[in-house]
Amino acid sequence: MITGSTCALHDEIAWRGGHALPTSRLVAEEMAIALSYNGSTHAVMMATPSDLEDFGIGFTLTEGIVEHVSEIESIEVIPGELGIEVRIWLDADRASSLAARRRSMNGPVGCGLCGLESLEQARRAPMRVRSGMTFDAPDLLEAIRALAPLQSLNHQTRSVHAAAFWHPATGIALVREDVGRHNALDKLAGAISTSGHPAPGGAVLLTSRVSVELVQKTAIIGVPLVIAISAPTTLAIRTAEEAGITLLAIARDDGYGVFTHSHRVVLPGQLPRQAAC
């Protein structure tokens, strides 16, 4: 086995067309990533060990631990035998707030909505995204088409998700990949927050289904439009509506569906709406 930072070469016996053939395949790495704040472990995530500073910053923002990157004093990535620790140090006010939050929790924070103590927390009102941007429908289709060639790790392994930031003036500016779709978006959130790219003027591209957590995270990032290759859940649609996010999904070569806030998408050849069943 040849091990790299994001994938490893494994032997396999491929059985195709009724024939067995010894071969090898690149497989995505997945390992434990511990996120600690001011010396205390907060969460352990299974993730691809790349762009971990972005991951730490993005997770800290999208989980509401801080509101601004400036409240993060430092971040350090420490490899270990059992995994990797991302050590994050917060300013005094945020460290105190997090300590109080941890004391009130029944379980550890994890991917998605784990570790919450009430139904109200799980269904918290999303941040409202305010953006006057409009987008041409063909441009958004070209954006999602342009993502696949930029997924370098997925080209090797065929097993990871991607989240990307696209702007009409620059095209796809940032791409992050991970075995976890939430992780990929958190990495992207961290990259956007430190890159200077104008979040209110662009779109998030996703290679996964759209669940409520992804919409909530996008709202915190401040991006007004999401386009995904797979379908949304009903709660994701309702949350996008509340958050002021334009949600496009089921993107294929010939188009996509616009589920919320369609005023941001200029749709040439739009047909009259059919009556609901």
Q: What is the sign, positive or negative, of the torsion defined by CA atoms of 131, 133, 134, 140?
A: negative
Catalytically annotated residue among 7, 111, 114, 277: 111
pLDDT per residue as tens digits for the range 233-263 = 999 999 999 999 999 999 999 999 999 999 9
Helix (H) or strand (E) holding 165: strand 161-167
> Is residue 114 flagged as an active site residue?
no
Residues 218, 185: contact at Cβ < 8 Å? yes
Residues 137, 268: contact at Cβ < 8 Å? yes
pLDDT per residue as tens digits for the range 86-103 = 999 999 999 999 998 876
pLDDT over threshold 60, residue 147:
yes
Q: How confident is the model at residue 119 (pLDDT cuts 50, 70, 90)?
A: low
pLDDT over threshold 90, residue 151:
yes
Q: What are phi and psi of 14, to 5 degrees?
A: -90, 125
pLDDT over threshold 90, residue 132:
yes
Stretch 4-10: mean pLDDT, rounded?
83
10-47 burial: b if 16+ Cβ within 10 Å, else e: eeeeeeeeeeeeeeeebbbbbeebbbbbbeeebbbbeb
Question: What is the reported pLDDT for 101?
Answer: 81
Stretch 219-235: mean pLDDT, rounded?
97
Question: What is the reported pLDDT for 62?
Answer: 96
Question: What is the reported pLDDT for 273?
Answer: 59
CA distance 46 to 34: 9
pLDDT over threshold 80, residue 104:
no
Stretch 10-37: mean pLDDT, rounded?
96
What structural domains and CATH numbers belong to the chain?
31-122 (3.10.20.10), 135-266 (3.40.140.10)
Stretch 184-213: mean pLDDT, rounded?
97
- Which of 1-5, 56-60, 183-187 is least confident? 1-5
Q: How confident is the model at residue 23 (pLDDT cuts 50, 70, 90)?
A: very high
Q: Record the tokens describing residue 49, joined without a space.
A: 């060990």
The predicted model scores a pTM of: 0.90
Q: Record the tokens describing residue 145, joined without a space.
A: 């088409």
